Amino acid sequence: MFSLSFAPTSLSTASVQYRGRYNLSGASRQVKCSADAGQSIAYSVPSLEKEKATTREPVVKREMTLGEKMRFGGYEGDEELVYKECFVMRGTQIGSKKTITIETIASLLQETSCNRAQRSGWLTDGFPTPPTMKKHGLIWITSRVHIEMYKYPTWGDVVEIEHWWEPDGRIAARFDYMIRNLSTGEVIGRATRSAFPEKNSRSSKKIPQLEEPADFSQLGLSSIPQDIVETHELEAITIEFRQECHYDDSVDSLASNEVEVEMDSNAGSEDNYQFVHLLKSAGSNHEINRGRTVWRKLER
């Protein structure tokens, strides 16, 4: 594991800034963020040393659906604290670097969470929700996501995602993930997500307002300079969500290059780049989300 420490940098004073504008289509998901505009942010990579949750989640015993029976996953052990699921990497999930994309990784993490929730007896009619929360009209809302990849899988690899959760404070929850290459047993990535319950005011007639890191990858990362994309790969991404955007909204995607990158192994290396990202509503200063990314030099 390593920790990241970023020097205070404001988007308004950054030496390099990249901008792009996008219109959200009906196929686009929605996003949220949590940060104050114009303020610098200090991040610390979450500790994932504790690999198993200490709090048992109540599991509702019921007959599995056909879809559940077809999945390559399930709880480990009788205590049912840790959920594991395997995925075969497909050719359609390969990016320009001949490895699985970060969008695919983010989608698999969310798929694992939803499948674990369904196996636990949570209601899955639109949002994976425990019965008690459903009774009170509450759903889980993601506030922060952090993903770091040590090595990206390739086409044909079998990836095992180990997933568990634990309470975080009075009402919030923390969802942790460990990503392994099943054939070698090597840990190739880790992730953590923070969420809290919120009143479900969404209408079934509206576009589903989900906060997914895969969507940020498509919009937020698109403002990275092409020369960086071609010679580097994403090592770590942290996203904080603040508010939702809706169908047909126009958004601005900005990226600011921060010069200093401090890492335990190669502090200040010229082969690494760090960017601050901002996704905001076009024509206003309303932030949708804010994030940070670290890029490492590709090994040829």
SS (H, E, C) 110-130: HHHHHHHHHHCCCECCCCCEC
> From the centroid of its chain, how far is CA 237?
8
Q: Residue 218: what pLDDT?
A: 62
Q: Mean pLDDT in the chain?
A: 73
Region 33-48: mean pLDDT is 37
Indicate the helix (H) or strand (E) that contains 107: helix 102-119
Q: Identify which has the larger pLDDT, 71 or 230.
A: 230
Region 130-142: mean pLDDT is 75
Q: Residue 8: what pLDDT?
A: 44
- Residue 74: phi and psi, rounded to 5, are 170, 175
Q: Residue 152: what pLDDT?
A: 97
Residue type, 130: P
Judge contact between 254 and 19, C-beta under 8 A.
yes
* Residue 178 confidence class, pLDDT cut points 50, 70, 90: very high
What residue ranges define each of the domains in the chain, with the CATH number in brackets?
17-297 (3.10.129.10)
Distance, in Å, from the CA atom of 35 to the CA atom of 116, rounded to the nearest integer, reads 30
Judge contact between 127 and 139, C-beta under 8 A.
yes
Q: Which two tokens stand for residue 1?
A: 């594991």
| Longest Cα separation, the chain | 58
Rg (CA), the chain: 19
Site of tokens 């403002």: 223
* Residue 167 confidence class, pLDDT cut points 50, 70, 90: confident
Residue type, 110: Q
For 136-169, b/e burial (b = at least 16 CB within 10 A) is eebbbbbbbbbbbbeebbeeebebbbbbbbbeee
Counting residues of the chain whose pLDDT is more than 70, the rounded percentage is: 60
3-state secondary structure of 134: helix
Judge contact between 164 and 90, C-beta under 8 A.
no
* Residue 41 confidence class, pLDDT cut points 50, 70, 90: very low
Judge contact between 133 and 180, C-beta under 8 A.
no
179-198 pLDDT, tens per residue?
Answer: 999 999 999 999 999 888 77
Q: Residue 176: what pLDDT?
A: 95
Q: Residue 216: what pLDDT?
A: 56
Q: Residue 127: what pLDDT?
A: 63
